[in-house]
Structures are given as C-alpha cells and as structure tokens.
Amino acid sequence: MPQRPHEERVCHGVRFYQSRHSRIRQLKGLHSPLDFGYRVWTSCWLLMDYLKSLGLPPGLRVMDVGCGWGLAGIFCAKNLQASVTCMDADLEVFPFLDLHAELNQVRVSTLHKRYENLTSQDLEGIDLLIGADICYWDEMPEVLIPMIEMALASHVRLILIADPGRSSFARLAEHCEANYGAGTTNFFVRKPHPLSGRVMKISNGSEAHRKCPASILK
C-alpha cells in the first residue's frame, strides 16, 4: 500500500495520524518531544499483534512504559478494556497521546516519570507492563533491568517488551532469559506495513498464588 503520510489510518482497531497529518503538524508547532517521542515507532505494531495472540482477559491493569504517543496502551484500553497508565519521561509526548486517546475514544492515565524512578507504589496493582522500542541505546539494559526487577518484585504478572532487534535489546533479553525465565520470539507482521522484530515475554510465575486469570501466564 502506498504511504500517505498526511492521512489518518487504522491498524488493529487503533486509529492513528500519520506524521504529516495536519493535526500532528499543528501539535508539533506547540510541543517538541525530546527523546525519540516525535513519532509512532514500529515495534508497537509487533506488540499489538503479539498481545492479540495471547488471548488475554478483559479488564487488566496495564502500564505502557516509554509510551511516546501511547498507541500500544491505547490498543489495550480499546481492545482489552484495560485500565491503562501511559508512562514517559518526556512531558512533551503527552499532548500527542491525548490526541490519539481522543481519536480512539478511550481514557488513559499518564505518569510523568523515568524508568529509573519507578516505584513499587507506581506499579501496585499493575497486571501487565508493556514497552515498545524502549531499548535503543547501549546503556538502556542497565536502566531497564532495575525497572524490570522492580516490576517483578511488585507482583506485575506479565512483562512484554518489543523491539526491531537491536543489539542492546539482545543484551537485555539475554539477561532476562538467564535471570527471570524470559522467552524471546521473532515476530513478523504485515500491518500497517511489513516489519519484523522480537518480543520478550516475562511471566512472573513466582506469584501464581495471586488472584489473577490463569490465562495470563500461558
């Protein structure tokens, strides 16, 4: 399909504006995301496809970390009736998130925080932690590993992180496979355009006694 960067599109039921849509151009005149939050990144499509394949129950409490424009979180709110918190270090991404939440007629909460400062209070009651395209620099694994450990200690049941397949993500996945029983799957999707990458899944099985639908751990 030809790229039409000035249009609105829909994928997995999520409506989104292309980078040159007039509403995005208008917002970019007012807000300047600093750290790669200036567009939708492709791994969120991998994550949505993967989430669909899991057959998760409705009503989960989800945190989308490094959310950017928040499409993965919006997908969970729209398709899983999840209660969603979108977290990012950059306040300037939230107007783009709000615009897309409005476009998709869902409500999501926002949390302005860094991975490094996430606490067990922030994660209390969260069932599913997701992240798309958040491990892009060499030093990112050292930042994300403590956050993952905090999430596991805070009884988050499932962690999913998607990436196009960078070497920094490979290091993160290797650490999580060795230490937390993570599994990593190569993934290919056709929509909204053909792309491949990897999704890492960590099931927090040690907390299986907690009241939560069993299907989430499969």
Per CB under 6 A, residues contacting ligand SAM are 35-37, 40-41, 43-44, 66-69, 88-90, 93, 114-116, 132-134, 136, 143
Task: Closer to ligand SAM by CB, 116 or 124: give it.
Answer: 116
Q: Considering the complex, what minimum distance in angstroms separates the CB of residue 130 from ligand SAM?
A: 9
Task: Closer to ligand SAM by CB, 188 or 208: give it.
Answer: 188
Q: Residue 164 in 3-state DSSP?
A: coil
Task: Closer to ligand SAM by CB, 89 or 216: give it.
Answer: 89
Dist CA 8 CA 5 (whole Å): 8
Burial of 164 (0-12, 13-18, 19+ CB in 10 A): middle
Burial of 119 (0-12, 13-18, 19+ CB in 10 A): exposed
Q: Considering the complex, what minimum distance in angstroms separates the CB of residue 111 from ligand SAM?
A: 9
Residue with the shortest CB distance to ligand SAM: 68
Dist CA 21 CA 4 (whole Å): 9
Q: Considering the complex, what minimum distance in angstroms separates the CB of residue 41 from ligand SAM?
A: 4
Q: Considering the complex, what minimum distance in angstroms separates the CB of residue 112 from ligand SAM?
A: 9
Task: Closer to ligand SAM by CB, 22 or 139: give it.
Answer: 139
DSSP states of 24-61 as a string? Answer: HHHHHTT---SSS-SS--THHHHHHHHHHHHTPPTT-E
